[in-house]
Amino acid sequence: MEPSLNGKKSGTKGSVLIMNDYEVLQKIKENGICAIVRGTTSDKMCKIADALLEGGVTTIEVTFNTPGAAEMIQELVQKYSDRMLIGAGTVLDSETAKVAIVSGASFILSPTLNVEMIKTCQRYSVLPVPGVTTPTEALTAWENGARIVKVFPAGVLGPNYIKQLKGPLSQIEMMAVGGVNVENFGDFIKAGATSAGIGGELVNKKLVEANDFKTITERAASFVKVFQGAVQSA
């Protein structure tokens, strides 16, 4: 299946807001928090989005190891593209990236470095965020066109690891993902991460199953407060 996009440009298509990859990158940096939604069902997705928005989180990622991920992204794009930045996660190859792009995802995250995935995203002006752990992987991603990388697993590596990476690789924007919580989030931002992807510490599966969206809103607001404070102090 080939994406029906010819160089994605800024503007609107019907009621859907479309941004190019540079604009999406700026939004990710501005928002600072990407909510990772994994393993949920379509009937819960809009409730999750509403809870995040109420708490001030405006970037959301649906992982592709979630059944029906493409359809959920399509629904989010139709209903929330004027208020939220919507992306796809756990994208392991260029074929899955194409499906995500057709679904309307504005950015594509992967836990690994796949150069073909980066090239596919570039072809349609969709922001690729490949996963890296080492300096070599980060530079390889940059040399192949990625302008932001997902440092994973950030919780294991720690904030100081990102600080050390940013020393020789200051030109590369970094998103901390994996094990980021409200206690260490600010340290990652102060260490040089431009943003963080946050999963279970924000959109907790048990909270969703219990329809406790109020707590998700409260958690979102807590992360936003930490981000704003870290940016100011940095």
Catalytic residue numbers read 61, 150
Question: What pLDDT score was predicted for residue 17?
Answer: 63
Domain encompassing residue 90: 11-233
- Of the listed ranges 19-23, 165-169, 218-222, the least confidently predicted one is 19-23
Over range 180-188, report the average pLDDT: 98
CATH of the domain at 84: 3.20.20.70
How confident is the model at residue 158, as a pLDDT? 98
Average pLDDT in the 167-182 region? 98
87 lies in a domain? yes
8 A C-beta contact, residue 101 and residue 108:
yes
pLDDT for the residue 6: 42
pLDDT above 50: residue 52:
yes
How does residue 10 score in pLDDT terms, banded at 50, 70 and 90?
low
Domain contains 99: yes
**Pick from 80, 141, 75: which is nearest to 108 by CA?**
141
Average pLDDT of 146-174?
98
Helix (H) or strand (E) holding 129: strand 127-129
| Domain contains 184 | yes
The whole-number average pLDDT for the span 187-208 is: 97
- Is the pLDDT at 24 greater than 90? The verdict is yes
Round to whole Å and give the CA distance between 14 and 196.
31
Per-residue pLDDT at 7: 45
Domain-located, residue 2:
no
Q: Give 195's strand partners.
A: 175
pLDDT band (50, 70, 90) for residue 11:
low
In a domain, 203, yes or no: yes
Amino acid at 90: T
pLDDT tens-digit map of 72-118: 999 999 999 999 999 999 999 999 999 999 999 999 999 999 999 99
**What would the mean pLDDT of 16-23 be, rounded to a whole number?**
83
Show the tokens assigned to 198. Answer: 């946050």
Q: Is the pLDDT of residue 193 over 60?
A: yes
Asked whether residue 1 is domain-assigned, the answer is no
Six-digit token string for 38: 């994994």
Residues with Cβ within 8 Å of 60's Cβ and at least 6 positions away in sequence, in order, are 34, 35, 37, 48, 49, 52, 76, 80, 84, 85, 86, 87
In the chain, the number of structural domains is: 1
Q: Model-level pTM greater than 0.85?
A: yes
**Distance of CA 200 to CAs 137, 152, 183, 227, 228, Å?**
26, 15, 14, 18, 21
Asked if the structure places residue 208 within a domain, the reply is yes
- Asked whether residue 188 is assigned to any structural domain, the reply reads yes
